[in-house]
Amino acid sequence: MNIGTLHDPQTRSVSEPVRQHGRLVRVVVPLAVMYNGFLAIINAHVMPLGFAHVALVEITLLFVTLLYLLYRGLSEEALPIVALVGFFALVMLYTSAANGMLFVDFFRNVLVIAVFCQLGMTTDGRSLAFVFRVCCLFILSVLLVEIFFTSLYEDLFYPALYFTNTRGLEQIAFGGAKIFQNAINIPGRFSFGLSDHRTSSLFLEQVSLANFSGVLCVYLVSRFRQVTRFDRVLILVTVAFILLTNDSRSMLAFSLICLFGYFLFPKATNGIRPLIMPAIIIAGALVYLMRPDASGDTFDGRIVLTMKGFFSLDFIELLALDARNVASFADSGYIYVINASTVFGLVAFWLFVSFYPAGQTAAQKRCAFALGIFIFLNMMIGGTAIFSIKVAALLWLLVGQMRVAEPETH
């Protein structure tokens, strides 16, 4: 067997170990997606929590999953994942030595990707569907409470206090609200008017909820024929309510791309996939040329911010020699990756996103193209959010499972 080649899904079958493995998936992944909400309730009504509690939950979920995968053993199919982790482990050692401190920030992000890709490859379609269904039900239920019973939502979760205690973020009070400060409607951004603030549901902050809708779009466009009618309606309703209340311009655009992409992606050759990132960067450069003075939290303002970051890159940043300042690039994904892992890290990440997803069947092509657009578009207008376990766990579980997915049956 050729390592790293695309799998023939017709040779795959769901074995008993895979079914047993689904039990872990059904617990770990929903917890990874929704743990912020549960911790916020504890913080608001039981005891104050700190950053250490949040980190402990993330590390535990990741560590338990990694131990289980290692216990089961890695097959030849895991070689691309092992190569990814090995490369960025070397990058971590280099950046730590070059900066005179232990710097594990981006390696942690890569480990999340690797673990959940591998977990997806050992997960059957039923477990994948169960995970997405459960996450949708919880997120949508809390979202509806937030929209129509905002005071109840604030009292139950008290997001402002949670982020003050666990992130040290001083909240900017507005109207005595207990929600996270970024929930305030931003001037210049469109709003459908269904909610008087930008919603966040169990994520408690708005960017992750927006990205969750993007992950749902990737899932739906990838597995539309396998998804039950109930799940289709549930996912579509969840995405609709998020887009109507979160004011996310990028995810509204991405949902339309997925709608047309469902028909177009299967017709495209896999050779186009590596061109997605360069095409998005070139498009960003065109926006910069037309609107060089754009600024603020607007679509073109975020793009211009990223392009200015590209144009100002110097030798120190290209080689990640000032990793202490990576937090200042939280709104620019490309610049963050370069500063955290060198320009070679960005190239490695680009190659992995472009070539790791399978591309034999129509469904696999839809997943691969939607993934590339979702990741590289997000990196143009956002920063670290797509690497958060809250979003990455679901996304890369899907990518891993689609790599070994059964062919469409209807």
- Is a pLDDT exceeding 80 seen at residue 169? no
- Is a pLDDT exceeding 60 seen at residue 32? yes
Res 175: pLDDT:
61
Q: Dmax of the chain from CA atoms?
A: 63
40 touches 157 (CB < 8 A): yes
- Is a pLDDT exceeding 80 seen at residue 11? no
For tokens 């202490």, name the residue. 324
B/e letters for 272-287, b = 16+ CB within 10 Å, e = fewer, are ebeebbeebbeebeeb
126 touches 25 (CB < 8 A): no
Over residues 267-318, the pLDDT tens digits come to 999 999 999 999 999 999 999 999 888 877 778 888 999 999 999 999 999 9
Q: How far is CA 327 from CA 162, 209, 332, in A?
A: 20, 21, 10
For tokens 């917890």, name the residue. 31
Handedness of CA 236, 36, 60, 24 (dihedral sign): negative
Res 298: pLDDT:
76
Handedness of CA 97, 99, 100, 105 (dihedral sign): negative
What confidence tier does 12 reach under pLDDT thresholds 50, 70, 90?
A: very low
- Among the residue ranges 178-192, 337-351, 380-394, the one predicted with the least confidence is 178-192
Res 41: pLDDT:
97
What distance, in Å, lies between the first and last C-alpha atoms of the chain? Answer: 29
Tokens of 404: 């070994």
Res 5: pLDDT:
36
Over residues 41-87, the pLDDT tens digits come to 999 999 999 999 999 999 999 999 999 999 888 878 899 999 999 99
